[in-house]
Chain A
Amino acid sequence: MSIRFLKVGFRYARGLPWETEALKNINLEVRKNEILGIIGPTGSGKTTLLQLMNGIRHPSEGKVLIDDQDPAVLKGREITRLRQKVGLVFQSPEDQLFANSVYEDIAFGPKNLGVAGSELDNRVRWAMEVLDLGFEDLSRRRPQNLSGGQKRRVAIAGVLAIKPEYLVLDEPTAGLDPEGRKGLLKLIRKLREDLGMGVVMVSHRLQDIMSTCDRVVVLEKGEIRKTGTPREIMRSGQELIELGLHLPPINMVLHELKDVFPYLDTAALGPEEAAGEIDRAIRGL
Chain B
Amino acid sequence: MLNFADANIDFMGRRRLALALSAILILGSIFLLATRGLNFGIDFTGGTVIEVGYPEPVALEHVREKLEDGGYGRAIVQYFGTSQDVLIRLAPREGEDTAELSNEVFRVLQAGAETEVDLRRVEFVGPQVGEELREQGGLAMLYAMFGILVYVALRFEWRFSVGSVLALAHDVVITLGIFSLLQAEFDLSVLAAILAVIGYSLNDTIVVYDRIRENFRKMRKENAESVMNKAVNQMLSRTIITSGTTLLVLLTLYFLGGAVINNFALALIIGVLVGTYSSIYVAAALALATGVDRTVMLPVKKEGEDTQAVGEERP
Q: Do A and B make up one complex?
A: no
Partner-B contacts on A (CB < 8 A): none
